[in-house]
Each structure stands twice: as C-alpha cells, then as structure tokens.
Structure 1
Amino acid sequence: EVDRTLDNSGRQRRAIINSKNFLPKWLQKLVREARQRGINLKIMPGGFKRRKQNTSCYMYSEKVIHWDIEFKFIHALDDKVVDNLDQLLAEDLPVSHSEFSSISRRVCEDTPLSSVLSKYIDSNDSVDDHEENRKLLLYRKTGITGISVLYRKENVAEKQHKYFELDLNGTIGHNLVRKTVIEFPTFLVVLNQFKHLFDIIDEKALKVNT
C-alpha cells in the first residue's frame, strides 16, 4: 500500500529529456552545476506537470543552487484519528492516514534539512493553513527527533522500491549527492516507528563495496 501511494508514473520517467540540445542555456547551467556536485539532475519535457512546477535555479551571484523541495508526509492524519494521538504513537501499527504534500520553493542548497522541516514539525512555529496544521498534528506531537526523511532511489524496477535515509543535520546539497533528481527532489517524511515498512539502502555498505 505504501508503494502504491508513492508510486510515480513510469511513463514520465521514460519521457525525461537526455539531450542537452533541448534545454535553454540557464537550465543547462543548472544541470551542469548539479552534476558538478555529484547530483544527477534529469529534466522532463515542457508539457509535463513536474516541469511546469519546477522553479529550481542556479543563482549566479551567490554561486549556489536553490532547490524546490517537495515534502510528502506519509503519515498525515485523516479526520477519523485526530483525537487519538497518544494511542497511535504507542501502537506499532500503520496509521490511518491521507498523504499530505507541500513544496518549499527555492531553498538554498546550504540550508540544513532540519531547518526546512522545522516550519512543518516544530510546534513553536505557526502553520498558516488550518488543514495543514490538522493533518500534521502527529508529526508535531512526535517532534523532529521522532521522524526520518527518506529519498526514493530512481531507476529501480516497479514494486521493488528502495530508499535512502537522509541526514537531518546535513544540508540539502549534502543529502542530494549521489542521487538522481527528476526536476526537483521529493522527500518522504515518515514516523520512526513505521520506518521498517520501507526498504532502506545501507549506504555505508555501498561505500565499502565500491
């Protein structure tokens, strides 16, 4: 069920533009700068929704990339469970949820991941949208120490999804090194007690083997 919720269209992946000749110069520059940082940035054709959504850019004056970042809160609450937060946190069972997504625009690559998440997770920060506030109650109850952020590995066969676990204290740029990004990164925010539902890659073992 988790895979079905997170699954992206295979058709979209096949439509990714591989030739630099189709890209405007500013977008070519963004792709080059990303690859110099060890990030494999893929750009989709102009008609695709993700291409239209993306406002990520390379800032020449600052010499940094500003990324759009999509956060998917996999265990956002639905209306039926809002009154049972403590019980849900105590149970090692999948939460009844309705996935909630939000995009943070043009985040500097030097920003720590935890800082970007704080506006969603930190109970001291106000959330303007009432629906967002309600759906993220479980995350805010748990706090930043009770969550993990995952990134789905691209170019993996359907129904065999694997995920990288990201460093909350690391910068956005650091977390994207050796990753393939389609237009802009999508980070999956999960509660720690449900992390075992995901097939997480052991990056330390990968480094030893390579």
Structure 2
Amino acid sequence: MEDSSVCGECNLKPWKYKCPGCSIRSCGLPCVKAHKQRTGCTGKRKATDFVTLSHFDDNLLLSDYRMLEDTKRVAESAKRMRDQICKNPYFKESQRSKLRAAAARGSTNLLFLSSGMLNRERNQSRYDNRSKCISWTIEWRFHSTDVVIVDHGVGEDTSLCSVIENHLKPGPWIHKLKPFCDVDLFSLKLFIQKGAKATTFKELDIKASLRKQLAKVAIVEYPVIHVYLPSQSYDFEVIRDFYQLNTTTPDPNGSLYYSHGDTTEGKVTSREEEIEEDGR
C-alpha cells in the first residue's frame, strides 16, 4: 500500500505541498518541477472543475472570486479594444440607416460589413440631410499596378473625371501611374462590379455624375472603381448603358462614331462589329 505521508514524486521525504492542479504531494521545488515535466501539469486548479460542497473551503472560494474578477477584466479590456478599433463618427446606427435609405432611393443596394472590418473602418460615406446628397468614399484600383487610392467626401453629383484627374496630373517624373497620365483622361475605362459576388461589371461614364452610375449596383461599404488603360483588355462580362464617344478610329466618312451596348444580349458591341456583320 502506498504511503500517503511521503512525497509522491521521490517517495523518500515527507510531503509538504499539494499540487492545486493534480493533487499530487511533493516535498520541495525540485519534485514540483519534476512532476510538472513528467505529467505536463500546469500546477493550476481548473477553475471549472466540479467540487463537492464537503470539499469546498475558503481557498476554493477565493480562487473562484479571482476567476470572476479575471473574466470581468478580460471582457472590459476587449470592449475597450473593440470601441477603439471600430471608433468611427460617421457610422452610428442611425446614420447607416439614413445612408442605406438614400442609396436605395437611387436604386443602389448598399451593404455593410461587420464591425472591425478594414473597409468598415475606412468607410466615411455619409448622407447629408441638409443637401439631400450622399458624400461617398471611393476606392480607385489601377489595373496592372498595386496602386490603390481612396477619396473621401465625393459628392454623388460630382463627375468621375473631376475626381480622378487629381491623381493623374502629368509630369516629367516616373511613377507607377505614369501610363495612365500619358493617355487622354476621357479614354480611360472605368468599371464597377455589379454585385459583391457578381462576375459582371458595369462600365462607367467618366463624364457623368456618380449618382446615375450607381443605379442597379450592389455596393459593399463604398464604391470600388477599377481603372483600365484603353489598350488593356479584360476577361469579364461588361454591361454598358451609356453612349461613349470614340475618337481613336474614325469611320470611312471621317466622322466620329459612338460605341454602344447591345441591351438585348447584355454584351458590348461596337459599330465596327455591326458594319462587319452587315458586310457578310
């Protein structure tokens, strides 16, 4: 029969300490360390373990009290951190509701992310009751570059060209957006995704206001506009609902022509393709 009066680790000396985690008896620090290394015990009592009333004492009461204090401290710390991360004066619940309602009146489906998400924190779009106008946050993504530019406070009646030209002012220096600065501003192609998971993009009219162009588009937090050079190709389906003046290739009569979207098929069709089909 095992002697309960001696150390449970060395079985030589009388025990002095009882491990709160596994209740093993030890005679001193070397045996305490040895039993932790052998068994993997942390030396701490599991705060959620069931203890019968007959074994409950002042030490267990104090341990439970400390556990509750620690839980409260962690919860309050997490709340302060969340409030700091998600602190954004533009996004009180009532303001989000007004912004969503104003967007819906323009046939725009505005969706919001959960608190703490990067785009949620970055979004400063808001609805002004006095002017009855939305001021959008806009993200510009330039194709074939890693350049991402964010504008805040862009009124929905502002034309896209007046916003993007601030980032594309030509100069002698070499930078990542120089190819976009070297072409005619109005020849740039602007696209916005039709929905959060949609594979179809809507081509935007760079001369038109933002209000008209966001109709029938689902936006997550704020508009993300993809900018392409005239020479760059794209591998997604495009919907175009505006007439665009094309100045790159004149027609046989020397006059300018317009390219337009074929609304029956939902694909982009240029006049050159129509002439080619008629000639067959």
The verdict on a shared fold, with TM-score over 0.5 as the criterion, is yes
1:170 has 2:208 as partner: yes
Return the structure number with greater helix share: 1
CA contact (8 A) 1:29 1:58 kept: yes
Q: CA deviation at 1:39?
A: 0.6
- CA 1:41–1:206: 2 relative to 1, 3 Å: farther
Q: CA deviation at 1:207?
A: 7.2
Whose RCO is larger (CA < 8 A, sep 6+)?
1
Q: Secondary structure at the match of 2:231?
A: helix
Count of matched residue positions in the alignment of Structure 1 and Structure 2: 156
- CA 1:183–1:112: 2 relative to 1, 3 Å: same
Deviations 1:34-79 (A, max 9, x none): 001111000111121111110000011111000000000113xxxx
* Equivalent in the alignment of 1:180: 218
Counterpart-to-counterpart distance in 1, 2:264 and 2:236 = 21
1:65 has 2:127 as partner: no
CA contact (8 A) 1:121 1:143 kept: no
* Equivalent in the alignment of 2:166: 119
The letter for the 1-side match of 2:214 is L
CA contact (8 A) 1:122 1:143 kept: no
Range with bigger deviation, 146-155 or 26-35 = 146-155
Q: Secondary structure at the match of 2:149?
A: strand
* Equivalent in the alignment of 2:12: none
Flag as ranges the 4+ runs of structure 1 deviating above 6 A: none
Identify which of 159, 179, 183 aligns with 1:142: 183
* Equivalent in the alignment of 2:146: 99
Gaps spanning 5+ residues in structure 1: where?
1-22, 76-97
Q: CA deviation at 1:170?
A: 0.7
The letter for the 2-side match of 1:140 is C
Counterpart-to-counterpart distance in 2, 1:186 and 1:192 = 19
* Equivalent in the alignment of 2:113: 44
Q: Secondary structure at the match of 1:194?
A: coil
Q: Secondary structure at the match of 2:102?
A: helix
Counterpart-to-counterpart distance in 1, 2:194 and 2:149 = 20
Gaps spanning 5+ residues in structure 2: where?
1-91, 242-260, 267-280
Larger-gyration structure (1/2)? 2
Counterpart-to-counterpart distance in 1, 2:156 and 2:149 = 18
CA contact (8 A) 1:71 1:103 kept: yes
